[in-house]
Structure 1
Amino acid sequence: MLFSSLDVQILHILNSYAGFDPIVVFLSVAGDDILWILIAAILFLSTSKEKVLYYCSMMLFLVGAVALIKSQLMVPRPEDVRFVVESSGYSMPSAHSTAAFATAMFLHHVAIKYGILIWSGAIAMALSRVFAGVHYPSDVMAGVVLGIMIGYLWLQIEAYFQKKSM
């Protein structure tokens, strides 16, 4: 079995807090597409068009990477839990967590003064997936690590091309 008993216990504990359901639903809906499009629009209006290109290309890469990993690992979603939101497909890594942490890496670089807010949002997005009952904590942690790696990679790619254009 891929999931330790601790993983399952944490899932059941967090999933039992129904008081967070409105927040969990909001974060799940926002994390489906709306938030990422809004971030791209804000970047478009407030920074260079290059930043928007880097962000959008990072998100496209992320979607492909997560889909490839999920299709190879084929980890099923949790069972016997209270589902707060609907979700389908495989579970590991959490695409919401991956996107949230890759975006946090990117945005922290762009708007460092909002770092605490940016990272708090990423953590909330990741935790909401366990509260929602659609991911095990290990799925979320895999998404966090993958998101940080992708965000870091894209910042390095951006730095390389900026240095090359000087």
Structure 2
Amino acid sequence: MKRETYVSMLSKIRKSPVLYGYVVWSDRILTKISYIIYPLFLLYLMVNKKPELGKAILVPAVSFVVLSIFRYLYNAPRPYEVFDTPSLIRKDTRGKSFPSRHVFSAFVIAVTVFYTCHPLGIFLGICSLLLAVSRVLGGVHFTKDVLAGAVSGILCGMLLFIL
């Protein structure tokens, strides 16, 4: 993405209260949806003594740690750093943009839930996709960051099917 494209995109969104509200609101709400449903899902697995419980905890946890270490070492700058323009979503983190950990987490949770409950997993997958869009429109990630987060989240979640 070029600076002109980035600045123009953010400017258009800032000028529209509806778009601006959507971007900020969707980032908050869509993140919370995954983080609320996941523990409830784990509780469901535990109460119903489902054998998938261990994998449903271990695979996302280990994947999250590995992804976090990679992000720390790679330390890619964020769009608002590269283009020296404030993002729409409040964020002051420096670096650690690639891959998007929000999007990774949302997708690994969606795939984990899909393993046991297809409709809920599909719902979470759609929420994850919308979250990825809001992270780019909000100016806190590049498209490549959210794509890498989504792909790695899906692949790590698929480990549930393999293990």
**TM-score, normalised relative to structure 1:** 0.73
Aligned to 1:160: none
Kept after mapping to 2: 8 A contact 1:70/1:91: yes
1:86 aligns with 2:91: yes
Q: Give the secondary structure class of the aligned counterpart of 1:118.
A: helix
Aligned to 2:35: 36
Q: Which amino acid aligns with 1:41?
A: L
Q: 1:49 to 1:140 in 2, by over 3 A?
A: same
Greater shift in the superposed pair: 148-157 or 38-47: 38-47
1:123 aligns with 2:129: yes
> Residue 119 of structure 1: CA displacement?
2.1
1:112 aligns with 2:118: yes
Q: Which amino acid aligns with 2:115?
A: H
> Residue 11 of structure 1: CA displacement?
4.5
- Structure 1 unaligned regions, length at least 5: 158-166
Q: Which amino acid aligns with 1:70?
A: R
CA displacement 1:112-158 (0-9 Å, x = unmatched) = 1345423211101111111221101111111111111111123312x
Q: Give the secondary structure class of the aligned counterpart of 1:72.
A: helix
Aligned to 2:73: 72
Q: Give the secondary structure class of the aligned counterpart of 2:111.
A: helix
> Residue 28 of structure 1: CA displacement?
3.4
Aligned to 1:96: 102
Aligned residue among 138, 142, 155 for 2:161: 155
Kept after mapping to 2: 8 A contact 1:12/1:81: no
**TM-score, normalised relative to structure 2:** 0.75
- Structure 2 unaligned regions, length at least 5: none
Give the Cα–Cα distance (whole angstroms) in 2 for the partners of residues 34 and 22 of structure 1. Answer: 18
How much identity, in percent, do the aligned residues show?
A: 22
Kept after mapping to 2: 8 A contact 1:101/1:122: yes
Give the Cα–Cα distance (whole angstroms) in 2 for the partners of residues 148 and 138 of structure 1. Answer: 15
> Residue 105 of structure 1: CA displacement?
1.6
Q: Give the secondary structure class of the aligned counterpart of 1:92.
A: coil
> Residue 70 of structure 1: CA displacement?
0.9
Q: 1:132 to 1:54 in 2, by over 3 A?
A: same
Q: Which amino acid aligns with 1:55?
A: A
Kept after mapping to 2: 8 A contact 1:70/1:92: yes
Total equivalences in the alignment: 152
Kept after mapping to 2: 8 A contact 1:99/1:147: yes
Q: Give the secondary structure class of the aligned counterpart of 1:17.
A: helix
Q: Give the secondary structure class of the aligned counterpart of 2:79.
A: coil
Q: 1:88 to 1:77 in 2, by over 3 A?
A: same
